[in-house]
Amino acid sequence: RTLGYTNSVSNNDLYAYIDSLPISTEQSFSLNKVSQAEVLKELHNLRNDSSTGPDQIPSKYIKPVADIIAAPLTHIMNSCIDANSFPSAWKISRISPIPKTETPKTHDDFRPIAILPVLSKIYERLVLKQHAVAFYRQLS
């Protein structure tokens, strides 16, 4: 009961804050092309211990060739941005059940984790950064 009250108060505060924000006259947002340096940085930031997605490409194999694949990958990502598209193959995930408890007994004792293709993760991070910048500009 207390949790519900706390959630409603915090939601009301959030709605009041949102209502107090100035209305922006800028109605659209366009993604900018990404640079090879940005793509290379994301390639180098990949975790070596992450599970492979449905593409079966481990990030530990991509990082050593990052300097070689950065240019063609930048071209692919910029083509996606120009076309306002997200490749269908990058939308496919592998679902892995992770136990919520030490000794799971039913399917409710698991939570699903979606494991995405490596290139999907890179593209999403690059797009997210641009969205975050645009969002914070709207707030200031």
Q: For 48-92, how does the pLDDT look when each residue is reduced to its tens digit (9 = 90+)?
A: 888 888 999 999 999 999 999 999 999 999 999 999 999 999 999
Alpha helix positions (H), 21-117:
36-44, 59-62, 66-82, 88-91
pLDDT digits over 94-119, tens only? 999 999 999 999 999 999 999 999 99
pLDDT digits over 4-27, tens only? 444 455 667 777 777 777 766 665
Q: Is the whole-model pTM more than 0.85?
A: no
Query: How many whole angstroms separate alpha carbon 15 and alpha carbon 7?
Result: 12
Chain position carrying tokens 């706390």: 6
